[in-house]
Structure 1
Amino acid sequence: MYIRIRNLREDADMTQAEIAKILYCSQRVYSNYERGELDIPTEILIKLANFHNVSVDYILNRTDKKETNR
C-alpha cells in the first residue's frame, strides 16, 4: 500500500509537501505514511483515493484495477 501512494504521488508530479497540504497534515506525517511507519487513517485513505481518482481497494493492494465504481 505504501508504495502505491508514493507512486500515485509521483505520477501526479507532486511533492510530499503538496499532498500533505491537500490532506491537512504535515509533510513529515505524510512521509511516515509513504514509508509505512504510520498507519493511514480511513479518512486519509478516502481523501487520497478521491484525489487520485482511484479506489481505496487499489491503494490497499486489494485490486490492480485503478478505476472507482462511481
Structure 2
Amino acid sequence: MDYINRIRSLREDNDYTQKEVARLLNVGQRTYADYEYGKTRIPLDSIIKLAKFYDVDMNYICGVSQVKKHFPNSKM
C-alpha cells in the first residue's frame, strides 16, 4: 500500500493539513486520517481527485512509478 506514504508525503510537501485535504475529498478529517494510516482504503475517485489536485500521475500515488509525472492532460 504505497499510496499511504505517497498521499501523506504529497500533503506535507505542499503544506496542507489533513482537514484541508479532507475538505477537498468531501470527507471528514478522521476519515482522511484513516486513509493515511491505512485503516481505510481510499476510494478510486478520491485518488483521482488527489492526482489532479497535486498534478501528479496516479501511477506515482499508487506506487507503480517512482517518477512524479504531471497528471495527464485530457486534450490530445
**TM-score, structure 1 normalization:** 0.95
Q: Give 1:39 deviation, angstroms.
A: 0.6
Percent same amino acid among aligned pairs?
A: 43
The count of corresponding residues between Structure 1 and Structure 2 is 70
CA RMSD after TM alignment: 0.8
Q: Alignment partner of 2:50: what SS?
A: helix
Segments of structure 2 that go 5 or more residues without pairing to the other structure are: none
Matches for 1:1-70 after TM superposition, within 5 Å: 1-68=3-70, 69-70=72-73
Q: Give 1:51 deviation, angstroms.
A: 0.3
Give the partner amino acid of 2:46: I
**TM-score, structure 2 normalization:** 0.87
Between Structure 1 and Structure 2, whose CA radius of gyration is higher?
Answer: 2
Distance in 2 separating the partners of 1:35 and 1:49: 19
Q: Alignment partner of 1:4: what SS?
A: helix
Q: Give 1:10 deviation, angstroms.
A: 0.3
**Could you give the per-residue CA deviations for residues 21-49 of structure 1, whole angstroms, max 9, x where no partner exists?**
11110000000000111111110000000
Q: Give 1:8 deviation, angstroms.
A: 0.2
